[in-house]
Every structure is written in C-alpha cells, then in structure tokens.
Amino acid sequence: MKEATGLLAREKGRAFVLAGGTDLLVRLRTGFIEPDLIVDIKRITATRSIDVRSNGFRIGAAVTGAELNEHAKLTKAWPGVVEAANLIGSKQVQGRCTMTGNLCNASPAADSVPALMAAAAKVVIVGPKGKRTIPVEQVPVAPGKTSLKKGEIIESILLPKRPPRSGDAYLRFIPRTEMDIAVVGAAVSVTLDAKGMCTDARVALGAVAPTVVLVPEAAKALIGTKMDKAALDALAAACSAACRPIDDKRGTSEFRIKVAGVLARRAAQIARKRAGGK
C-alpha cells in the first residue's frame, strides 16, 4: 500500500488507481483519459478481504460486488448495502466492480453510495501523510470529483455494527430491468425499538443532485414514528423536496423529483420489514 501511494504521489503526469476497472477501462478505451500511470491495487492484501470486527465490518477496497454477495454475515447485517452494490452492472461487471471504485467515481448516480451513506459508512484513506478516516458523504464533492488528495487511496470501507431490530434497503429506478444507470436511487436505513417505533434513521438519494445526498429531513420524518402512512408521506415529501435534479438523457427533473419520493417510501417499507417491523 505504501508503495502504491508512493507511486501515485511521485507521478508527475496523470495517474489512476485501478481496482475493478469497470469504469476506468471504459474511460481509457474511449480516449476520455490518457494515463501516464495506472496502479493496480488488487494484489495488495489489505484491499482484498472482508473482516468481521467487534465494531462492524471492514471491506477492502478491491472486494468485488460478487464477493460481497457471497459473504453471508455481511448480507445479513447490511442487505441494503449489498443489494445496492449488486445492482452495479451485469454479472460480468459484478465479478470486477468495487464499492470503493463506485464511490471514487463520484457519480451522483452511483448505486452503492446512497446505501453506504444511509448505513453511516466511513472510509479509511491511506496517503503519503498516513491514514485518516472520514464519513462516506465527505468523499464525493462534485460530479466526477472527490476530496481525495494526490497520492491518496481508499484502503477500505467501514460499516458499523448493527443494533438489534435494524434494517436497510436500496431501490433505484431504471427504464430496463438491468444494465442501466440509476435515474433515481433511494436508500433507507432504520432501527426500531421493541414496540416498532423508529429510533434511528438515515436516508440518502442518488441521481437527484450533483452528488449523492443525505436527506436528514427525510430521516426526521421517520424517527419517533411507527413508520405509518403519514410518516411515509412525510418521508416522500421530504425526499422530493431535497431533489435538485437536472433534465438529461436518462430522465426529466420532474420525473426524478416525483419518483425519489416513491422509491424512498418503498425502500423505507422494505427496511422496516427487515428490521422486524410489521
């Protein structure tokens, strides 16, 4: 890892980190980027494993979508995160793509990022000046731009330990059933108390603003409720209100605003069910 960050820091030209490569190679191939240096991090041990720790999970930066899906404990604890990661591309892409790559692309439509934000995930960054840990929402700053500095690499993603009666879910809207980029994405993570009251919630939306956004107002709409119809209506309204979308080839602004609320409501219902709510 030290060698990798050193290479990146020393390169005077255009340097890129290669993990799964499912985005990097497309950009390379289309001539969008012309690297002077590509650093493949897949053979660095620290990037390759999923570790179960007392305080949660540590997911190496080069762990693929398919590997996440095959990890029973992770899938049980964070089904929403895993399902979001598994929505990136086809089976072919799943064998290569990584959540860290998805995050570092800084696309507002990245599927795994809303789920990671809703999960309150953090990333461990290694750079020439050592290690630092920051929340996921501080990584993307604009379309295609992250807060990482020259020579820095995300080594791993940390997911917190789940309290009992917790559940998460991610839904996205695409015109087909597979192979599309999200037109809208919505992730919801909730924790319930023994009576089914929502005690904690985080909600994040994708493809409705320049970056993936956390929507605290939407979370507030759920906390302290039994996630009944009124709460879900308030959640949907808060989500639609938080949208700052554009019209593009994938959907209209109007469509995104409306569907963000619809998906958030549906995702919240799944998350509640996974948390054991009735």
Partner 1 sequence: MPLDSTLQGKRDFKVVGTRPLRPDGIDKVTGRAKFGADATAPGMLVGRILRSPHAHARIKKIDTSKAEKLPGVKAIVTREDLPDHTDGDALLYDVLYNIMAREKALYEGHAVAAVAAVDTRTAREALKLIKVDYEVLPHVTDVDEAMKPGAPILHSTIFTDGLEPKPKKPSNVVRRYEFGHGDVEAGFKKADIIVERTFKTEATHQGYIEPHACLANVGPDGQGELWVCTQGHFMVRDTCARLLGMDISKLRVTASEIGGGFGGKTTVFIEPVALALSRKANRPVKVVMSREEVFKASGPTASTSIDVKIGVTKDGRITAADATLRYQGGAFAGSPVEFGAMSAFACYDLENARTIGYDVVTNRPKQAAYRAPGAPMAAFAVESVIEELARKVGMEPIDFRMKNAAREGTRSSYGPTYGPIGLLATLEKAKQHPHFKAPLSPNQGRGMACGFWFNFGGQTCVSLNVNSDGTVALSVGTPDIGGSRASMCLMAAEELGIPYDKVRAIVADTSALGYNDVTDGSRTTFATGMATILAARDAIKKLTARAAQIWGISAEAVTWEKGYAKPAGSNAGNFPPMSIAEIAAQAGATGGPIAGHHEYSADGAGVSFATHICDAEVDPETGATKIVRYTVLQDAGKAVHPSYVEGQFQGGAVQGIGWALNEEYIYGKDGRLQNAGFLDYRIPVCSDLPMIDTVILEIPNPGHPYGVRGVGETSIVPPLAAIANAVSAAAGVRLTSLPMSPPRILAALDRKAAAE
Partner 2 sequence: MSAIHVTTKINGDVVDYVCEADETLLDVLRNRLGLTGAKEGCSTGDCGACSVTIDGRLTCSCLVLGAEADGREIGTIEGMAKGDELHPLQRKFLEHAALQCGICTPGILVAAKSLLEHNPKPTETEVRFGLAGNLCRCTGYDKIVRAVMDAAQEMRRA
Interface with partner 1, residue 27, by CB under 8 A: no
- Please calculate the CA angle 216-221-226 and round it to the nearest 5 degrees: 135
Instruction: Name which of partner 2, partner 1, none residue 18 binds, using a CB cut-off of 5 to 8 Å depending on partner kind.
Output: partner 2
| Helix, strand, coil percentages in the chain from 3-state DSSP, rounded to 5 | 35, 25, 40
- DSSP state, residue 119: T
Interface with partner 1, residue 30, by CB under 8 A: yes
What string marks each residue from 60 to 79 as x (binds partner 2 by CB under 8 A) or -? ----x-x-------------
Instruction: Name which of partner 2, partner 1, none residue 252 binds, using a CB cut-off of 5 to 8 Å depending on partner kind.
Output: partner 1
Question: Mind giving me the DSSP string for 31-93?
Answer: TS---SEEEE-TT-GGGS-EEEETTEEEEETT-BHHHHHT-HHHHHH-HHHHHHHTTSS-HHH
Looking only at the bridges linking them, the beta strands covering 145-146 and 153-160 are unpaired
What string marks each residue from 173 to 212 as x (binds partner 2 by CB under 8 A) or -? ----xxx---------------------------------
Interface with partner 1, residue 92, by CB under 8 A: no
Interface with partner 1, residue 183, by CB under 8 A: yes
Looking only at the bridges linking them, the beta strands covering 122-127 and 37-40 are unpaired
At 101, list the tokens. Answer: 């790559």
Instruction: Name which of partner 1, partner 2, none residue 37 binds, using a CB cut-off of 5 to 8 Å depending on partner kind.
Output: partner 2
Helix (H) or strand (E) holding 38: strand 37-40
**Interacting residues with partner 2 between 4 and 43 (CB under 8 A):** 18, 20-22, 25-26, 28-30, 35-38, 40, 42
For residue 63, the SS3 value is coil
Nearer to partner 2, 66 or 134 (CB): 66
Nearer to partner 1, 48 or 255 (CB): 255
Return the residue of 162, 250, 272, 274 that touches partner 1, per CB under 8 A: 250
- Please calculate the CA angle 123-95-103 and round it to the nearest 5 degrees: 25
Q: Name the site residues for partner 2 (rule: CB under 8 A).
A: 18, 20-22, 25-26, 28-30, 35-38, 40, 42, 64, 66, 89-93, 95-96, 177-179
